[in-house]
């Protein structure tokens, strides 16, 4: 960049990809939640008295998120949400905003919290750049994971909400939902899951993914 070239105020916050009409703009609300995140957990070892823990993503693949919730059991409302995330500024801002949304006005009913969509979070942030909308998806998925964990811990397995089903082993016709169900029923090793589902027995190349799912669901539901 030439030394004497002046940079306009707009150019410091807007980035226009070449050949695109999509402007990347972070609103003041997004920046507020990024620089001063609400309900952020800095030391997970101190999170002891919570009713549900949710996790999504993987640091190896990109963003990862953990959410802890406290529930008003009589009112069936979420009264507090704490979180950690390994991700970009948009993911941090979206989760920070979500933590306020579910706890405001005395807490959000669990059924309403389960229905939160990424668009709801984005709207409260005053929008996100198009290429960053996916960052708000982590928050609602992690929240549903935490609520599901609460359902399991409180003996309400009939209320557990399953995410979209994905086929893991085509030959055995086993899905991630089948593996999740096996873990919920107490199978927490590859051998135990195979006994229930036959996953990977005739298709060993899927075993690494199966083992990863077993670890994920075990920690998700049982800590």
Q: What is the CATH number of the domain that holds 67?
A: 3.90.1010.10
| Confidence at residue 218, expressed as pLDDT on a 0 to 100 scale | 83
Specify whether 97 is located in the same domain as 198.
Answer: no
Catalytic pick among 30, 56, 135, 214: 135
Q: Which of 61, 105, 186, 191 is catalytic?
A: 61
Read off the CATH number of the domain in which 194 is found: 1.10.10.1100
How much is the average pLDDT of 32-36?
A: 90
Residue 3 falls inside a structural domain: no
DSSP class of 213? H
pLDDT the model gives residue 15: 37
What's the rounded mean pLDDT across residues 15-30?
57
Q: Same domain, yes or no, for 30 and 68?
A: yes
The pTM of this model reads: 0.64
The rounded Cα 127 to chain-centroid distance in angstroms is: 19
Q: Which pLDDT band, with edges at 50, 70 and 90, does 7 fall under? A: very low
Q: How far apart are CA 113 and CA 98, in angstroms?
A: 10
The string of pLDDT tens digits covering residues 35-86 is 999 999 999 888 989 999 998 876 554 568 899 999 999 999 999 999 998 8
Domain count, the chain: 2
Over the chain, what is the mean pLDDT? Answer: 82
Q: Do 209 and 108 reside in the same domain of the chain? A: no
Query: Does 39 or 90 have the greater pLDDT score?
Result: 39
Residue scoring higher pLDDT (99 or 16): 99
Q: Is 88 a catalytic residue?
A: no
Order of strands, sheet of 108-109, starting from the edge strand that comes earlier in the sequence: 52-57, 64-72, 77-86, 108-109
Q: Are residues 180 and 204 in the same domain?
A: yes
Whether pLDDT at 9 is above 70: no
Of 96-105, 134-143, 181-190, minimum mean pLDDT range:
134-143
Is position 61 annotated as part of the catalytic site? Answer: yes
CA 87/CA 189 separation, integer angstroms: 30
Give the residue among 89, 99, 100 at the shortest CA–CA distance from 132: 89
Do 151 and 172 lie in a common domain?
no
The answer to whether position 8 is within a domain reads no
């Amino acid at each position: 960049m030439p030394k004497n070239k002046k940079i306009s105020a707009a150019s410091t916050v807007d980035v226009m990809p070449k050949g695109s009409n999509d402007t990347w703009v972070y609103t003041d609300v997004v920046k507020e939640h990024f620089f001063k995140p609400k309900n952020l957990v800095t030391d997970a070892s101190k999170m002891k008295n919570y009713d549900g823990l949710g996790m999504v993503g993987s640091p190896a693949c990109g963003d990862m998120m953990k959410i802890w919730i406290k529930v008003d059991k009589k009112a069936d409302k979420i009264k507090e949400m704490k979180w950690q995330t390994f991700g970009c500024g948009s993911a941090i801002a979206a989760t920070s905003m979500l933590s306020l949304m579910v706890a405001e006005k005395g807490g959000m009913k669990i059924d309403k919290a389960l229905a939160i969509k990424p668009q709801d979070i984005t709207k409260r942030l005053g929008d996100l750049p198009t290429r960053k909308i996916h960052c708000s998806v982590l928050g609602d998925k992690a929240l549903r994971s935490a609520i599901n964990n609460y359902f399991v811990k409180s003996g309400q397995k009939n209320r557990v909400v399953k995410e979209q089903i994905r086929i893991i082993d085509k030959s055995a016709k086993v899905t991630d939902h089948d593996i999740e169900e096996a873990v919920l029923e107490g199978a927490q090793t590859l051998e135990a899951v195979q006994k229930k589902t036959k996953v990977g027995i005739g298709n060993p190349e899927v075993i690494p993914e199966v083992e990863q799912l077993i670890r994920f669901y075990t920690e998700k539901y049982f800590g």
